[in-house]
Amino acid sequence: SAPEAKRQYRKLSMQHHPDRHANNAQRQQAANDCMTWLNWSYQTVLRGRAAGAPPGETPPDALMAG
């Protein structure tokens, strides 16, 4: 449901926000990557296309691996 997705998004974004790991560059980068994926996933769910990437859109992992 949308309220549950929002609640989980907020919980995970607080946990994985890069600013929470400002003293460790490696963890900060990992948190930034996690937030990129988390933001993309949340927007995908909000658009009602949770089954996969919307047409013409690439998930963040595919962009980073390329």
Please give the torsion angle defined by the CA atoms of residues 18, 51, 48 and 38, in that order, rounded to the nearest 10 degrees. Answer: 0
pLDDT at 4: 85
CA 33 and chain centroid, separation: 8
Average pLDDT rounded to a whole number, residues 4-16:
89
For helices 2-16 and 25-46, the axis angle rounded to 10 degrees is 170
pLDDT computed for residue 11 by the predictor? 93
Identify the burial level of 30 via C-beta atoms within 10 angstroms of its C-beta, where 0-12 means exposed, 13-18 middle and 19 or more buried: middle
Q: How confident is the model at residue 6 (pLDDT cuts 50, 70, 90)?
A: confident
Tens of pLDDT, residues 11-64:
999 998 888 888 999 999 999 888 888 888 888 777 775 455 555 566 665 445
Number of Cβ atoms within 10 Å of the Cβ of 38: 19
